[in-house]
Chain A
Amino acid sequence: MRVVVVGYGMVGSRLVEELVARCPDADVTVLGAEPHQPYNRVLLGELVAGRVDEDSLALPAADGRVAVRRGVAAVAIDRAARTVTCDDGAVVPYDALVLATGARARVPELPGLHPSPLGVHPLRTLADARSVADAVTTSVRAVVLGGGVLGLEVACALTERGMDAAVVHAGPHLMDRQLDAAASEALEHGLRRLGIAVRTGRPPAAVLARGGRVSGLRFPDGDELPTDLLVLATGTVPEVGLAAAAGLAVGRGIVVDGDGATSDPHVYAVGDCAQPAEGSSGLVAQGWEQARRLAEVLARGAAAVPRPRTVDAGAATDVVRLKAHGLEVVTMGLTGAATTAGKHRSVRLSDPSTGRHVEVVVAGGAVVGATCVGAGPVAADLTAAYTRRTPVPADPAHLLLRPVRGAGPEPEPSVTLMPDRATVCRCNGVTKGELVRAWGDGARTPADVARATRATTGCGGCTDAVCGLLDWLAGGEGDRVPAGVGALAEAAG
């Protein structure tokens, strides 16, 4: 089976890995327009923040059996002949063609952006990230256009690099794809604490430039926001040009079915360029899940194995997790306006002035959605419950908080205050009562107690507690202890 993969990003490379693992004999060719090895695009924000270097973004190299042609772009598909023509003139035949061409940054239709002045950068590719990171050294003020996940991550990253950053968001509130107004308010508090200014609800009217360099944004009311750096985080546009030119069905993305097949059964699409029935989230987890399923479909085809009757539900791939230091936002499943549709039980803890908002949506005894802003470890717990579909507690409100320290596992109380049945020496199962009885029988030193009860003779961790107890007993309390008949015999057991 000859498989040609167009696009060598996070999803394309994962598809190749999954396919080779299942189908070691497949003849796989990868065409990657970018000259470098595939890299971890999810961490570009970390690169901008200076927390990681470029080497940390390198993804695993392809198996030696795979022909990887880097810096070679596909320019045309001949579906009738089942060939792909490359920009170096090569024509590559296929039995199955996989389009993993991804998406490009969307540049909004704003006066002053076409063409863009210097100092305006999208953040989509490694080259973009390098440009933004370089700009940090020459700029003081930054504006991020777009208050979605990427925009907020970039704003936090630039703040971490010492810049004075602001977020401008045209929508009604930050992350409006995922959050409702209350959750967003908590998020805004969190951003302000980090020193990031937020302007929502009004799109800018124009991008201003001076001497060919960006100088600020102007709003419809004439208000101006000066800046030295403008980062565009205003969404993406699927790369569908090749597919459209080949006559494949294309909407916003390349239209695919549940297996990833396009309108041509020999051509598939995965990742950000694809448009499945459930919509594209832009999350890498969704693309990876598509890659896994497509690898199975292709492997089955190669082995002529019939398709299983039950469709693999797969893992939940819609967990959105902001990667920004000092700002915690995690959403999954039903969130925002979707939770108030009334069909589901929704329990929330809203504490916006401290930057906290937690909401959990429950249906059928399971978590079907959650929103966590500034929720600490609760977010990790809810993610585990959501992705594994574990049953919710009888009262879902328990999901909103972790018990505070002390309300959970008991801290060791002082040995003088603990009840007689409490174990002091774990290694030998010696209770406080047995120690007190040993004292009553004449044990006065730790060595005496050890002989009588074996307390302290395991790991020795209770030695301080035993000494403390002996001091306390020597202080007069021991007088009330009855002679411990049988304590020795018990301990010697």
Chain B
Amino acid sequence: MSGSPPTSTAADATATLSTVTAPTAVRGSSVDTHCPYCALQCAMTLTPATDVAAPPVTVAGRPFPTSRGGLCQKGWTSAEVLRAPDRLTSPLLRGADGKQHPVTWDQALDHVADRVRALQDAHGRDAVAVFGGGGLTNEKAYLLGKFARVVLRTPFIDYNGRFCMASAAAGANRALGVDRGLPFPLSDVGGAQAVLLLGSNLAETMPPATAHLAAARAAGGLVVVDPRHTATAALTDGGQGVHLQPVPGTDLVVLLALLHVLWAEGLVDAGYLEQRVTGADEVRRNVALWWPERAEQVCGVPAVDLRRTARLLAAAAPVHGGRGLVVLTGRGVEQSTQGTATVTAAINLALALGLPGRPSSGYGAVTGQGNGQGGREHGQKADQLPGYRRIDDPAARAHVAAVWGVDPDELPGPGVPAVELLRRCGRPGGPRALLVHGSNLLVSAPDADRVRERLQALDLLVVCDVVPSETALLADVVLPVTQWAEEEGTTTSLEGRVLRRRRALEAPDGVRSELEVLHQLAARLGVPDGFPTDPAQVFDELARASAGGVADYSGLSHARLDADADALHWPCPAGPQGTPAHPGTPRLFSDGFPTADGRARMVAVDHHGPADDLRADAPVYLVTGRVLQHYQSGAQTHRVPALEAAQPEPYVELHPLLAHRIGVDDGDLVEVSSARGTALLTAHVTPRTRPEVVFVPFHWSGQGSANRLTVDATDPVSGMPEFKVCAVDVRPAPVRDGVAPVGAVPAGAR
């Protein structure tokens, strides 16, 4: 779910909607819940508003171990989305005139079911595919995976988490035996003497989390690796740490050189490697080839800085008497064709210093989307079944099939990752229909112009969304669904803590929950049972399906989570009756790793560089990312006036030397073009980036869309696309009839 607010192209579709009735609160008193945006899931309390001119609920921060009562501007203003002027309140069906028209729920659901049945009869079960999202609650994500496997019986399901977390997941699973973003509570970061932050701009993406960096900064131990001097990198200024500014696409080289120095200077934790790790010798030989002077030539970070940083990190490790070192990766290093390799190198570094399982130490990935963690555990990934089980594992299939009451042999096998799934859409042998939940592909997927072509080539595109996102506007059928404060459920935060999302107000008339959509569609497609609409009931089934899996929720229920204010971290298995409830698992790895031999596995990796590297007609690197005021493709945040006022238009950040060379001043309109597309953006001239690097935030569609430029090359292990680096040319925008092009921001949203 995301996208810009209604543009003029959206007007045709939305003009027919009746005006939104004022939302009404369900309870007289306050409701404790969590923010609708990122994976930090800041705790908030919603109170029904008394002022009719104000949003329907008032937001207040609530003390919690992660957010400590803080909220960023997105959280504070989140209630505005509840009264979005263009809220979808009726199903829409594209008519013979090519326009979307309101229809009844029965008409819409009948149409979807009929078309799905017809397409599957004609082309086979694989002709229908499902695309999920990391913003869906655990309950929705679970039921969506079940719907694909049990009702549609298609292998083709994947989700937008493939764009965010797939490389971190693949790297952690392979090395540590489990992928839980942070295998320790976020508050443990606050105890560390040093924090190595690779490709994560926390100060923009989850501001309240930066409070946990205070101790490391006070010790001069915050190390930020980023091609830009971001707000997060600025936290290292004044002796509070080190900012390493590599050339985009070479973060892996930085890590290989750091590891080289650790081994060369005898700083590794030899005892830990001996007792708890396999593969160290091969990795050591591998990094022998990355001495700092060689690394400098590839990554642009001076060798002296690499050495100094390696020593700083080592000094913080418990083996050298330090107070702890936490290594964190973010999308900046993961959204790369060598993302899994980079995560692997980060884990290798953590293992070399003996961090995982030690106090205030370890490796973690900073999960992005609101339920980016839970979203990757319950079966909406192409290769996965609930409980973080593998779909090609016979025991996993048998267990889940038993919970679902089906024959294991009837379950489809693994599908394909998101980018490949989209590439196949509407092509011979590929999916003819796509059901989209909680995702705005047209803005968030790489090489957006090609994505549009693929979606338009489908026979049936069905989109469930809250507002008319760009993808919804392209759909044959749009189903309006509940959002955040209108529904019950759970999310799992970046630290594997299971949180309750609670309903604070009634959904507008005409809106249904996605659980109900799946129930209705399943019934129409011949599966009347097994798709409950009560989130607590869905959770109970999810818990059973997860029992014995890596992400075991079987000891949890909505009732138990309601009783425990601080919530619980998985794994939290159910015990035999009469025994005390499992307390959850805030910290993993203290006794061993959930691998076959109980040891962590180091894997040698090497650097190959970006898929779309610089060349004469594209001599500048493009880096994409987020700004504080917007979230993903902006379906929610573009509808919040205060956020739009603060970040009104798409822009490109470029270095003064680059701006001077091409003759561009701050505020000028700039044309950025890649081999795939062109974007028009306002120039923000700043020395915070490297001279050969430009930055474009990806929250906009249309002319200012960053993903019209990005490349759809993917990581060979995780299938994650290389959003974070490609080659572009930058030049002043051509003047057309004296009229400057504008961004995709409608007047109505200001």
Residues of A in contact with B (beta carbons under 8 Å apart): 40, 42-43, 46, 51-53, 55-61, 319, 321, 323, 376-377, 379-381, 383-385, 387-394, 398, 403, 408-409, 411-412, 426-429, 454, 457-461, 493
Contact = CB atoms under 8 A, between A and B. Distances in A.
Contacts of B661: 391-394
A40 B288 contact: yes
B646 A429 contact: yes
A393 B690 CA distance: 12
Nearest to A460: B211
A234 B573 CA distance: 69
B85 interface: no
Nearest to B291: A43
Given A60-B286, A321-B297, A377 B265 contact: no
B62 to A, nearest CB: 12
Given A46-B264, A383-B300, A58 B692 contact: no
Given A46-B291, A426-B231, A458-B71, 12 more contacts: A42-B291, A384-B300, A388-B692, A390-B619, A391-B619, A393-B658, A429-B73, A429-B628, A429-B646, A459-B207, A460-B211, A493-B641
A460 B70 contact: yes
A303 B666 CA distance: 54
A52 B263 CA distance: 8
B77 interface: yes
Contact of A381 (B210, B266, B300): B300
B88 interface: no
A218 B298 CA distance: 44
B657 A385 contact: no
26 contacts: A43-B288, A59-B288, A60-B288, A60-B289, A61-B282, A321-B294, A321-B296, A379-B302, A387-B298, A390-B620, A390-B691, A390-B692, A391-B619, A393-B657, A393-B660, A393-B661, A403-B687, A408-B687, A409-B237, A409-B687, A409-B688, A427-B70, A429-B642, A457-B69, A459-B72, A460-B68
Given A390-B614, A394-B661, A380 B229 contact: no
Contacts of B203: 426, 459
Contacts of A388: 247, 613-614, 619, 692
A427 B207 contact: yes
Nearest to A456: B70
Contact of A409 (B76, B229, B301): B229
A493 B77 contact: yes
Contacts of A409: 229, 234, 237, 686-688
A408 B657 CA distance: 12
6 closest A-B pairs by beta carbon, nearest first, are: A493-B642, A384-B300, A52-B264, A427-B207, A393-B657, A459-B210
B645 interface: yes
Given A319-B297, A390-B692, A459-B203, A56 B288 contact: yes
Contact of B207 (A59, A60, A426): A426
A461 B229 contact: no
B618 to A, nearest CB: 11
A316 B716 CA distance: 27
Interface centre among A51, A319, A493 (most CB of B within 10 A): A493
B604 interface: yes
Nearest to B68: A460
B263 A429 contact: no
A403 B76 CA distance: 39
Contacts of A412: 237
A32 to B, nearest CB: 16
B289 A59 contact: yes
Nearest to A17: B606
Nearest to A390: B692
A323 B291 contact: yes
B427 interface: no
Contacts of B645: 493
Interface string B234-260: 110110000000010000000000001
B616 interface: yes
Contacts of B430: none
A212 B614 CA distance: 59
B678 to A, nearest CB: 19
B296 A427 contact: no
B212 to A, nearest CB: 9
Contacts of A428: 72-73, 76
A52 B284 CA distance: 13
B285 interface: yes
A457 B61 contact: yes
Contact of A55 (B61, B211, B284): B284
Interface in B75-100: 76-77
A40 B291 contact: yes
A58 to B, nearest CB: 5
Nearest to B247: A384
Given A388-B692, A409-B688, A461-B211, A429 B629 contact: yes
A457 B76 contact: yes
Interface string B255-292: 00000100111100000000000000010111011010
Given A40-B289, A426-B231, A52 B660 contact: no
